[in-house]
Amino acid sequence: MIEKVIFIGAGNLATQLALALHEQGIVIPQVFSRTEASALALADQVQAAAITDLSLVSPEADLYIISVKDDVLPEVLENLNLPPDRFLVHTAGSIPMDVLSGFSENFGVFYPLQTFSKNRRVNFSDIPICLEANHPANWVRLQRLAARISGSIHQVSSEERKSLHLAAVFVCNFVNHMYALGESILQDKKLDFDLLKPLIRETSEKINDLRPVDAQTGPAKRYDQSVIGKHLEMLNDRPELRKIYSFVTDSIFQFHQTNAK
């Protein structure tokens, strides 16, 4: 049974996951971050000790959740001096589980499929937790831990996780960028972004009932040239947005030629 978890990393994901586990009674003895302020900020919230030196990581935890930037992970693993049976997981979407195999006999992946910011609490209860482990017994240990915070637990291979992460970039990061561009268009005319919020909400809710291809509306779908032409003209002084507009519009039209019923 996993009761003591040490966090290696104190970024957005680590912060929200640590808070959720802490709330469910998991003990977090230590939080490591190279940046002292980050280590302290999270450690304070979960009654942990903040450390900035990997050699100080205690060997006494049941699980080590390594949640650092992808390009820092190899270096962290090299410098983590733990007994070889310590249970290590990472939380990265695009890194195979096996990068951990040279560093422990017990390892896996704990990947919550969600967008996290440090200062916005999220409710974990329906967040899909994608788990992978090097051994069925380790999978069960992770599954029991995940069940303390979420009702949506999934066995996901490294290959599948990569696709989930890629799709997540489209439906989250790219979507959020469209919000940012929409806001910037309104700012130019001093119009309030709040006017778009009911539309944003309905667009996100519509796909609970309709497939996205069937939920699509607007000028691109049928290539309504008179509207598209006006919009492109309005973007003449914003070449960056004009390119995105024209490119995504073409893609929608082609997608609907191929996929619409």
* Binders of its own copies in range 239-258 (CB under 8 A): 240, 243-245, 247-248, 251-252, 254-255
Contacts with 149 (C-beta within 8 Å, 6 or more apart), sequence order? 20, 21, 24, 124, 125, 129
**Cα angle 149, 151, 152; round to 5:** 110
CB 220 to its own copies: min, Å: 6
* Binders of its own copies in range 28-47 (CB under 8 A): none
CB 135 to its own copies: min, Å: 24
Question: For its own copies, which is the closer residue by CB, 58 or 176?
Answer: 176
CB 227 to its own copies: min, Å: 5
Q: Which of 178, 223, 237, 261 binds its own copies (CB under 8 A)?
A: 178
Tell whether residue 147 is a contact of its own copies (CB under 8 A): no
d(CA 79, CA 157): 27
Q: Which of 25, 126, 137, 237 binds its own copies (CB under 8 A)?
A: 126
Laid out side by side, the sheet with 63-66 consists of 49-51, 30-32, 5-8, 63-66, 87-90, 106-112, 129-133, 153-155
Tell whether residue 151 is a contact of its own copies (CB under 8 A): no
CB 158 to its own copies: min, Å: 12
Cβ distance 68 to 89 under 8 Å?
no
Q: Which of 53, 189, 236, 261 binds its own copies (CB under 8 A)?
A: 189
Tell whether residue 114 is a contact of its own copies (CB under 8 A): yes
Nearest to 116 by CA among 125, 130, 127: 127
User: Total binding residues for its own copies by CB under 8 A?
Assistant: 92
Stretch that binds its own copies, among 1-9, 34-42, 102-110, 199-207 (CB under 8 A): 199-207
CB 42 to its own copies: min, Å: 17
Tell whether residue 172 is a contact of its own copies (CB under 8 A): yes
Residue 60, both tokens: 């006494």
236 Rama class: left (phi>0) / alpha (psi -120 to 50) / beta: alpha
Q: Which of 94, 105, 148, 223 binds its own copies (CB under 8 A)?
A: 94
CB 87 to its own copies: min, Å: 25
* Binders of its own copies in range 45-84 (CB under 8 A): 69-71
CB 236 to its own copies: min, Å: 12
Stretch that binds its own copies, among 27-35, 77-85, 103-111, 227-235 (CB under 8 A): 227-235
Q: How far apart are the first and last CA of the chain?
A: 50
Cβ distance 66 to 43 under 8 Å?
no
**Which residue blocks in the chain are alpha helix, DSSP H?**
12-23, 36-45, 73-79, 136-147, 158-168, 175-188, 197-206, 212-215, 225-234, 239-259
Task: Write the DSSP symbol of residue 97.
Answer: G
Tell whether residue 259 is a contact of its own copies (CB under 8 A): yes
Q: Which of 217, 236, 237, 239 binds its own copies (CB under 8 A)?
A: 217
CB atoms within 10 A of CB 243: 11
